[in-house]
């Protein structure tokens, strides 16, 4: 006696042909009085009955596994699929197929896998590969279909949701040796303009109650016959605001070893700048300039660095209508913060934003993230001329920004901001007219 077919399982065409052929041979044997036809039908009937005496009651279980460790662009990915059989009946054949993100290069992930799974067992499929680009990438969804009972029953496709893999941007080598234009924290590595405990000499003054004896300048004291002490500038931390211009995207991303789009350069540069200043003990915050306007509050330390990397995974190009002006007021930015604006400067609103921040007295540095070979798409014979005019107009915008006191520098990794930080620090220390 055969068991009823459980939900999730269906008869295959092989079972249908077996039943049809058995019934046809029996009908012809009885009608024509042919015993040989009945004997021919017996193997089909007996084979189907033996295979269906025990039928599976549940479908296979498919699990997607992937690395949960800190994965960076260009790093190795260890992904895999596991098919489990909770039944006491083995699966004759299981066909498994999965989709993957185009930025995860997994071996043989573009073809189906055929495996057998024993009763109350499991089988694993390894999918090693490489992460090609930052972002939240997916392994899956995966689908599996099993055949059992000698191929007479097959389950309906079992689909498993995708498993997310976080690929963090690679941090290009970056360092800035110039001092910050303003340091207003409590403790840190930057020279401030306030007197206090530090290593930078500010001058010599008369001794006052509370001064430390080791600060006494004996040469000046002996010459003037009054106690004098050396005063120093305090060392404090600074706040760095990384502003991401997401109004436009230019170029095609080729992954970690290919060409970089504006968004790729922006995210990688933001990660490198944040890593540098957080390593020095400064406070770093991140802000989007676009329709979304996401913001990450200022913080310091390794925890803030990991938070910045996680926050950058969700950065997307956020173009908005020309009539819409993203809300970004100078009152949202601390007066002592260094504002590093990562922008391709292809939208007039970006240049206006930079000019307004500088006019409001914020220490602003513009980092040009436009690729050198970027150009509008070629549509007709007038495209080269239009490209030249576009480049001339953009150079004019850069010149006007510099006239307004906005330093603009192209992103080039290590030392990119040294020259402009020197100019900003010089302007910050210059006396302001009243």
- pLDDT tens digits, residue range 123-132? 999 999 999 9
**Every domain range in the chain assigned CATH 2.60.40.10:** 61-168
Choose the CATH number for 239-429 among 3.40.50.620, 3.40.50.410, 3.40.50.1820, 3.30.1490.20.
3.40.50.410
HEC profile of the chain: CCCCCCCCEEECHHHHHHHHHHHHHHHHHHHHCCHHHHHHHHHHHHHHHHHCCCCCCCCCEEEEECCCCCEECCCEEEEEEEEECCCCCCEEEEEEEEEECCCEEECCCCCCEEEEECCCCEEEEEEEEEECCCEEEEEEEEEEEEEECCCCEEECCEEECCEEEEEECCCCCCCCCCCCCCCCCCCCCEEEEEEEEEEEEEEEEECCCCCCHHHECHHHHHHHCCCEEEEEEEEECCEEEEEEECCCCCCCCCCCCCCCCHHHHHHHHHHHHHHHHHHCCCEEEEEEECCCCCEEEEECHHHHHHHHHHHHCCCCCCCCCCCCCCCCCHHHCCCCCEEEEEECCCCHHHHHHHHHHHHCCCEEEEEECCCCCCCCCCCCCCHHHHHHHHHHHHHHHHHHHHHCCCCEEECCCCCCCHHHHHHHHHHHHCCCCC
Any residues with CB less than 8 A from the CB of 241 and at least 6 apart, and which? 284, 285, 286, 287, 298, 333, 334, 337, 338, 339, 340
Q: Could you tell me if 247 and 354 are in contact, meaning their C-beta atoms sit under 8 angstroms apart?
A: no
Q: How far is CA 49 from the centre of its chain?
A: 56
What confidence tens digit (pLDDT) does each residue in 153-183 have? 888 899 999 999 999 998 876 665 555 554 4
What confidence tens digit (pLDDT) does each residue in 402-426 have? 887 788 888 876 566 666 666 665 5
Distance between CA 411 and CA 186 in Å, rounded?
31
- Ranges of residues in the chain with a pLDDT under 50 are 1, 182-196, 235-236, 430-434
Q: How many other C-beta atoms can be found within 10 angstroms of the C-beta atom of residue 80?
A: 16
pTM: 0.75
pLDDT for 195 equals 46
Q: Is domain 61-168 annotated with CATH 2.60.40.10?
A: yes
pLDDT for 336 equals 78
pLDDT for 133 equals 92
């Amino acid at each position: 006696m055969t068991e009823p077919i459980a939900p999730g399982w269906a008869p295959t065409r092989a079972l249908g042909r077996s039943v049809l052929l058995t019934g046809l041979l029996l009908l012809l044997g009885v009608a024509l009085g042919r015993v040989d036809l009945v004997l021919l039908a017996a193997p089909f009937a007996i084979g189907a009955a033996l295979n269906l005496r025990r039928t599976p009651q549940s479908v296979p279980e498919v699990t997607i596994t992937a690395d949960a460790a800190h994965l960076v662009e260009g790093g190795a990915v260890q992904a895999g699929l596991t098919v489990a059989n909770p039944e006491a009946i083995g699966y004759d054949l299981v066909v498994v197929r999965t989709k993957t993100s185009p930025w995860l290069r997994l071996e043989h992930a573009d073809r189906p896998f055929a495996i057998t799974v024993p009763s109350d067992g499991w089988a694993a499929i390894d999918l090693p590969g490489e992460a090609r680009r930052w972002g939240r990438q997916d392994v899956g969804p995966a689908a599996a279909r099993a055949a059992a009972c000698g191929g007479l029953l097959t389950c309906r496709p079992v689909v498993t949701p995708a498993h997310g893999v976080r690929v963090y941007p690679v941090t290009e080598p970056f360092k800035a040796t110039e001092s910050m234009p303003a340091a207003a924290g409590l403790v840190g590595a930057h020279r401030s303009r306030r007197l206090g405990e530090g290593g930078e000499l500010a001058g010599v003054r008369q001794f006052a109650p509370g001064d430390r004896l080791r600060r006494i300048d004996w040469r000046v004291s002996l010459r003037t016959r009054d106690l004098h002490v050396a005063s120093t500038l305090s060392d404090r931390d600074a706040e760095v605001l990384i502003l991401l211009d997401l109004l436009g995207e230019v170029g095609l991303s080729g992954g970690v070893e290919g060409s970089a789009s504006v968004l790729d350069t922006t995210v990688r540069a933001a990660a490198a700048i944040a890593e540098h200043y957080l390593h020095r003990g400064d406070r770093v915050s991140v802000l989007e300039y676009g329709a979304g306007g996401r913001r990450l509050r200022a913080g310091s330390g390794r925890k803030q660095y990991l938070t910045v990397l996680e926050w950058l995974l969700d950065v997307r190009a956020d173009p908005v209508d020309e009539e819409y002006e993203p809300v970004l007021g100078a009152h949202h930015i601390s007066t002592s913060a260094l504002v590093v604006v990562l922008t391709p400067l292809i939208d007039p609103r970006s240049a206006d934003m930079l000019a307004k921040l500088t006019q409001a007295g914020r220490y602003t540095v513009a980092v040009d993230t436009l690729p050198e070979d970027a150009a509008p798409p070629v549509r007709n014979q007038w495209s080269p001329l239009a490209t030249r005019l576009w480049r001339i107009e953009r150079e004019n915008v850069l010149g006007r920004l510099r006239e307004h006191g906005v330093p603009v520098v192209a992103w080039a990794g290590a030392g990119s901001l040294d020259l402009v930080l020197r100019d900003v620090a010089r302007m910050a220390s210059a006396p302001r007219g009243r």
